[in-house]
Amino acid sequence: MINLDFGFGPVEAEFWRLLFVMTRIGAALVAAPLFGTPSVPPQLRVVCAGAIAVLVCAWTDVQAPATLFSLPGMLGIAGEALVGLTLGFVLQLSFAAPIIAAEVIGGGMGMTMAMAVDPSSGTQSPALGQYFMVVLTLIFFALGAHLQWFNLLIESYKVFPPGHTWLGAERFAMIAGYTSQVLVTAVTIALPVSLVLLVVQIVTGVLSRSAPALNLFSLGLPAGVLAGIAALVLSAPVLTDLVVRLSADAITASSEIMSK
């Protein structure tokens, strides 16, 4: 089958089939924002990929290339990784929207100095972004969107069987279109708070011009932080609705990309 024979016959063939199926699943888990975080041990991702691959092997008739360690076999593995990375990347785009909104809001509040390590990427991000990320993660799991995403990952073997894994220009254009949609959602999340902060900054500027003795920094920074917190509290229902829509749009976009 792969020009290597260890003498185990059909058991060996099933083993290489399982490893081949794990390629797409493992790539999707690595690219996904929740399962591919540095805080998740690689061993756990391998175990999850193997568990899902066992189900895929039992439910489908996916077969590994006849010569796995050849040029066609390597191209087949690359195609499997492409499909998996695409599914994970679409989900990653959805989880980037709150971080973008937090950057905008944090800049208006003067909270850019409050940075924390983002567990999903391992880089520095605003502390406010962690709050948005927690809200999105809880709602994502509460809606069962992770189960729908796993279902799309399994269904992708029927839509893109091994050897037919090139997505095409239309699907790449759909990913680009979804990126613009995510940016619009990020702006929508940040817009209510940003408008309140703009009004506060205008009032602070007028006061500083009317009474030059007032210290702009000692007056503007506390006012911006307090106004931003109040605006976040008042806009919490809007944030919840937008995050619910963002989770649904992520699954919808993944489904459209995986559709025939």
| Per-residue model confidence as pLDDT tens digits over 11-38 | 677 778 888 888 888 888 888 887 777 7
Segment 92-135, tens digit of pLDDT: 888 888 888 888 887 777 666 656 655 555 566 667 777 888 88
Encoding tokens for residue 126? 């605003």
Residue of 181, 192, 9 whose CA lies nearest to 90: 181
Residue of 58, 255, 77, 256 whose CA lies nearest to 163: 77
The residue to which tokens 């077969």 are assigned: 63
- For residues 18-44, b (16+ Cβ closer than 10 Å) or e, as one string? bbbbbbbbbbbbbbbbbbbeeebeeee
Question: Using CA atoms, how far apart are residues 101 and 190, in angstroms rounded to an integer?
Answer: 5
Encoding tokens for residue 69? 């360690």
Q: What percentage of the chain reaches a pLDDT higher than 70? A: 85
Residue of 40, 62, 41, 42 whose CA lies nearest to 53: 62
**Average pLDDT of the chain?**
79
Question: Using CA atoms, how far apart are residues 185 and 69, in angstroms rounded to an integer?
Answer: 44
* Band of residue 1 on the pLDDT scale cut at 50, 70, 90: very low
